[in-house]
Structure 1
């Protein structure tokens, strides 16, 4: 007897299927928060009609980055759990590049603009000071 082989051998490989899953790709939260700024929001709301988009791009939910066919579908969406969950996620402000560098100890200035040492250097100095105090107390 010959060797039996299953058909569709690559069907269950998750990383291959996720790699090409772009159909439901949406904007990240920080990109949506930029769209919600007043100057950007006006541009999006007053956009021209586009025949390629559902409802010619007239009915758009900025928070979820979705187009709808008519205003009824848009209003149903805004009452849904999905939309409310996205609103809760957008309440948390996005991290800035300065905050990311500061938390990684790469920045030399704090968020307020004050000069600051690298966090690792600062922690090392604080630990050294604690050790010196402990040594002095043990000698006394």
Structure 2
């Protein structure tokens, strides 16, 4: 017997673009954006943010290098 014609018609369509989805989902800052954040006036504003209860850690723990 030969291969079935129905193999992979529906289930594989959703899996074709999973790499592209993950690439866009886990987007981080580029090096030029990190460098711009490390300027003294911008860094001071990022490190001393007002308390925001909706943000993780109340927006009090910000790492310039990891951002």
State the TM-score, normalized to the length of structure 1.
0.38
**Gapped regions of structure 2 (runs ≥ 5):** none
1:44, CA displacement in angstroms? Answer: 0.4
Q: 2:12 is matched with which residue?
A: 9
Q: 1:23 and 1:53, CA in 2 relative to 1: closer, same or farther beyond 3 A? A: farther
State the TM-score, normalized to the length of structure 2.
0.70
Q: 1:4 and 1:20, CA in 2 relative to 1: closer, same or farther beyond 3 A? A: closer
Larger RCO, structures 1/2 (Cα 8 Å, 6+ apart): 2
Larger Rg: 1
1:61, CA displacement in angstroms? Answer: 1.0
Structure 1 segments of 4+ aligned residues over 6 angstroms from their partners: none
The structure where helix makes up a greater share of residues is 1
Does 2:34 match 1:32?
A: yes
Aligned residues: 62
| C-alpha RMSD over aligned residues | 2.2
The structure where strand makes up a greater share of residues is 1
State how far apart, in whole Å, the 1-side matches of 2:64 and 2:47 are: 9
Q: 1:60 and 1:19, CA in 2 relative to 1: closer, same or farther beyond 3 A? A: same
1:20, CA displacement in angstroms? Answer: 2.6
